[in-house]
């Protein structure tokens, strides 16, 4: 390998988080190489809405706007949600958030993962400061003084001052760097599908807690709703095996018929759910972002929002450090990034975990508490603002 050929940053994984980080850094003048095994599946307007959607918080939309990709995403297909309503099957009380109360146009946007990835990928391809290595896979990595080397599966080598693992929850790079994780298997799967409903979704993200399960209805721009029904493994297998009629009858009842009768419009898919937190984010000339650092329960719809906050913060810290003429990927800068993001991510992950545990339990004292908790948060202004601010990424 040519010793002089050393990139500023190598990003392994071009999912939503890795691609957003790569663009942020390249636009700030860093020389970036991105390694990805496969390009994202293409997004086409004539295709049905993809089954994987995310609720993007305002902080994530701000980042995509700054990267000049939001306009193309929003004009292609996205749905704002202006209200959020949370209630419980076992107790009275509800929690409601309205964008108008916060003086904003929407609480966020529901967008297909595939569309976000497609828009970011096109921007990566057009960016002069980015070298895309795709298809390519990393076989090994080692730190080497002020740089880190990646050995690819084809035996070629890439050197960079900093390597960032953005290769998802099962991150191979994290394992190669010797970083352990703390895991909790929820023993649940999220069943997802798009459904038509008798009544309009009112641009509301709905969430109902059920004994041992959570059910979300997220609004889509064509009037349908995208459901995320997190249930124990065996229940997921049973729901997946039902015919459309029986599935929709159970789904409508589980949702308390808030939007009336439900009709299937797509096949169903399911994703295993777990909590996974990296014990540390740093190794020499190495760090983690996105799901490679933290996998959280989807009940709060925050996974990629946390990851995009990692990307913003890492870009900010590296830039500040470079502008101050320090070693931009040195220990001090990376420790600052880790300190800020690991605590926020761990706090969020444990909060979602606690909510999941309380609402997964049907023990009576907890069941009584849950309705009261929702009502208290709904009525106590400062507490409600705290929740709203956190969800918005403020
Ligand atoms: C049912 C469900 C609903 C969800 N809903 C929401 C929501 O509403 N809001 C929200 O914020 N989040 C949500 N999430 C979470 C969100 O989908 C994830 O947090 C997000 O996709 C993580 O993005 P990422 O870029 O970190 O990782 P990934 O999306 O996993 O991307 C990883 C990238 O790395 C690449 N890669 C993999 N292995 C390697 C390798 N060895 N070398 C190089 N590259 C590699 C992959 O090809 C991919 O491009 C949900 C998750 C689930 C399961």
Q: How does pLDDT run across 278-314, given as a tens digit for each residue?
A: 999 999 999 999 999 999 998 888 899 999 999 999 9
Residues in the chain: 394
In tens, the pLDDT along 89-131 reads 887 778 899 999 989 999 999 999 999 999 999 999 999 999 9
With H, G, I as helix, E, B as strand and everything else as coil, classify residue 259: coil
Closest CA relative to residue 166, chosen from 32, 12, 311? 12
Atom of ligand 1 nearest to the CA of 230: 1
Q: Residue 383: its pLDDT value, please?
A: 58
**Do 276 and 181 touch, CB atoms closer than 8 A?**
yes
Rounded to whole angstroms, the Cα distance separating 10 from 22 reads 9
pTM of the model: 0.94
With H, G, I as helix, E, B as strand and everything else as coil, classify residue 212: coil
Closest CA relative to residue 321, chosen from 33, 8, 95? 8
Rounded to whole angstroms, the Cα distance separating 10 from 167 reads 12
In this structure, the strands spanning 32-35 and 7-12 are: parallel
**Residues near ligand 1 with C-beta < 6 Å?**
12-18, 35-38, 54-55, 137-138, 166-168, 172, 190, 192, 228, 271, 290-291, 298, 301-305, 307
Write out the DSSP string of 163-179. EEE-S-TT-HHHHHTT-
With H, G, I as helix, E, B as strand and everything else as coil, classify residue 308: helix
Name the phi and psi angles at 109, rounded to 5.
-135, 140
Ligand 1 centre from 14 Cα, in Å?
A: 10
Residues of the chain with pLDDT under 50: none
Ligand 1 pocket test, pick from 302, 303, 310, 391 with the greatest ligand atom count within 8 Å of Cβ, gives 303
Ligand 1 centre from 13 Cα, in Å?
A: 10
In this structure, the strands spanning 32-35 and 83-88 are: unpaired
In tens, the pLDDT along 328-357 reads 999 999 999 999 999 999 999 988 888 877
Ligand 1 centre from 201 Cα, in Å?
A: 27
């Amino acid at each position: 390998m040519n010793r002089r050929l050393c990139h500023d940053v190598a990003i392994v994984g071009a999912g939503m988080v890795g691609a957003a980080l790569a663009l942020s850094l390249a636009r700030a003048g860093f020389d970036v190489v991105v390694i990805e095994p496969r390009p994202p599946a293409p997004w086409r307007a004539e295709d049905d809405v993809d089954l994987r959607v995310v609720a993007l918080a305002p902080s994530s939309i701000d980042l995509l706007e700054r990267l000049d990709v939001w306009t193309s995403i929003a004009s292609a297909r996205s749905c704002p949600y202006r209200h959020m309503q949370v209630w419980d099957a076992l107790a009275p009380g509800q929690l409601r958030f309205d964008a108008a109360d916060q003086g904003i146009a929407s609480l966020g946007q529901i967008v297909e993962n595939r569309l976000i990835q497609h828009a970011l990928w096109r921007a990566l391809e057009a960016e002069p400061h980015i070298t895309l290595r795709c298809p390519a896979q990393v076989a090994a990595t080692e730190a080497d003084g002020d740089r880190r080397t990646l050995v690819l599966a084809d035996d070629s080598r890439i050197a960079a001052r900093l390597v960032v693992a953005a290769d998802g929850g099962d991150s191979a790079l994290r394992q190669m760097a010797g970083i352990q994780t703390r895991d909790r298997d929820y023993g649940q799967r999220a069943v997802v599908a798009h459904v038509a409903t008798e009544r309009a979704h009112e641009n509301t993200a709905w969430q109902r807690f059920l004994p041992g399960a959570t059910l979300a209805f997220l609004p889509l721009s064509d009037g349908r709703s995208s459901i995320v029904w997190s249930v124990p493994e065996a229940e997921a297998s049973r729901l997946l095996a039902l015919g459309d009629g029986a599935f929709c009858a159970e789904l409508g009842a589980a949702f308390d018929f808030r939007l009336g009768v439900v009709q299937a419009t797509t096949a169903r898919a399911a994703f295993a759910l777990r909590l996974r937190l990296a014990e540390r984010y740093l190794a020499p000339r190495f760090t983690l972002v996105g799901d490679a650092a933290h996998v959280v329960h989807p009940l709060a719809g925050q996974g990629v929002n946390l990851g995009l906050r990692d990307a913003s913060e890492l870009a900010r810290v590296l830039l500040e450090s470079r502008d101050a003429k320090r070693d931009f990927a040195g220990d001090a800068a990376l420790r600052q990034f880790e300190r800020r993001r690991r605590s926020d991510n761990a706090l969020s992950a444990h909060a979602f975990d606690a909510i999941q545990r309380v609402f997964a339990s049907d023990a009576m004292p907890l069941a009584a508490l849950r309705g009261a908790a929702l009502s208290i948060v709904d009525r106590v202004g400062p507490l409600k603002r705290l929740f709203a601010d956190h969800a918005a990424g403020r």
